Structure formats: structure tokens, C-alpha cells
Amino acid sequence: MTTKASAANLTANAQCNPQPQASTIPFATQPHRMTSKVVKGIEKVTLVSVIKTVVVEELKTAMIVEITTIVGSEIRSILAKILTDNHQQNEEVTLMRQRLNQSVRWVKQLEQRSLKNPVAASTRAAETKKTVVHRGANTILQF
């Protein structure tokens, strides 16, 4: 009978004081998982050091995330600036090519006119050089 009575007491105690499952208790409140219960002083020191380690690791992670975010935004702004500069340079190069092509067209037109009228060819050649230099701005053609 004593075994039945002790079993009944254990069941009654378990129902009155239910122990939470290990998975529902936060890690820091489960000292039996971290240390043996030989000496309480060691257990407290270990618990404090574990809590400090967890907090420090959390702070490190938070700082790394923040630094990564800052660096990421800096990189994005630098890349945007590079792309903008590159686009502007491409536009400038395109304008210079257009000016060069226009100058070449002028020269060809003048050459064709001079072939039609060989008497004025020598004077037009001198005029062509001046015209191309003035109209081309950054583009200088030499013949």
C-alpha cells in the first residue's frame, strides 16, 4: 500500500506543481543544462559568464548588422555616383563622336564641292581646316 500511496502523492504533487518542459524554459534559466550542481558558487559564476557571453555576442551581432548596413549604404551611394559619372562620361563621349562625325561630313561635302569646281579647291581646303577647328570645339582635324 505504501507504494500506491507514494505514487498517489507524486501524482498529486505533479498536478499541483507542474514542471515546465525544458524547451519552454529560456536557456539562461536552466543552470542544470550548463553546469553540474556540485557547488552553487561555480554554478552562479558560470551562469553569469554565460549571460555575459550571450549579451556580448548579441551586441556584436547587432553592431555587425549595423556596420554592414552602413557599409552597404555607402557602397550603394558610391556605386550610384560611379554609374552617374560613367553615364555623364558616356554622354560626353557620344557628343564628341557626334561632333567628329559632323566635322567629317563637312569635310566630305567640301571635298565633293571642290571636285565639282577644281578652280576653288585650294581656297576651300584652307577654309575647311578653319571651319572644322572652329565648329568642332573639342575636335581638331588635320588634313
Determine the pLDDT at residue 87. 72
Q: What is the pTM of this model?
A: 0.29
Q: pLDDT tens string for the chain (143 positions)?
A: 455 555 555 555 555 545 544 444 444 454 444 444 444 555 555 556 666 666 666 666 666 666 666 666 777 777 777 777 777 777 777 888 888 888 778 777 777 776 666 555 556 555 555 554 444 444 444 44
Tell me the C-alpha distance between 1 and 24, whole Å.
Answer: 36
Determine the pLDDT at residue 1. 47
CB 47 within 8 A of CB 34: yes
Contacts of 33 (CB under 8 A, 6+ apart): 22, 27
Cell of 9: 502523492
Tell me the C-alpha distance between 125 and 143, whole Å.
Answer: 9
Determine the pLDDT at residue 112. 75
Domain boundaries, the chain: 31-136
Determine the pLDDT at residue 23. 46
Determine the pLDDT at residue 64. 63
Nearest CA to 124 out of 133, 115, 134, 135 is that of: 115
